[in-house]
Structure 1
Amino acid sequence: MRPWKLLGLAGLAGVAATGAVLARGERQRRAHTPEEIRARLRERHAALADAPGPASPAAPAPGRGGRLTRLLRRRGV
């Protein structure tokens, strides 16, 4: 019966440790004010808007034919 007690205590210790880690993360997340979060999101958006990205997904790759290419040609896009 003793090994089961040790296994149960180890499980309880694991649950307590997980709860402590989650609580700490939640406290850190809530430490930011809404204004700080908005400012960070705006900075990230501006950085992504300025960075060159891949070609538009609607534009077919050059040299590749296919159904999408034919449909876009028909519609005059």
Structure 2
Amino acid sequence: MRWWKVLGLAGAAGVAATGVVIVRSERKRRAYTPDQVRDRLHARLAEQSGASEPRADV
């Protein structure tokens, strides 16, 4: 029965670690100002527009 305890503790540690990762990414995402988000989106759009030519048959 002892290995059930170890398995349970490992599962709890895994859930806690996943929560930490989610909270960190959420903090990083929310740290941007609206102007920074807009600038990043414009930069991504410019990268994609420059990387591929628009198709005429679409």
TM bucket (normalised to shorter chain) is 0.7 to 0.9
Q: CA deviation at 1:26?
A: 0.5
Alpha carbon RMSD of aligned pairs, Å? 2.0
TM-score by length of 2: 0.81
Instruction: Report how far residue 55 of structure 1 moved.
Output: 5.8
Instruction: Please name the residue that 1:19 is paired with.
Output: 19
Runs of 4+ in 1 over 4 A off after TM superposition: none
Structure with a larger share of its residues in helix: 2
Give the structure 2 partner of residue 53 of structure 1.
52
Matches within 5 A, 1:2-17: 2-17=2-17
Higher relative contact order (CA 8 A, sep 6+): 1
Q: How far apart in 1 are the matches of 2:55 and 2:34?
A: 33
* TM-score between both structures, scaled by the size of structure 1: 0.63
Based on CA coordinates, which of the two structures has the bigger radius of gyration? 1
Percent of paired sites with the same residue:
52
Structure 1: which 5+ residue stretches go unaligned? 60-77
Alpha-carbon distance in structure 2 between the residues aligned to 1:11 and 1:43: 41
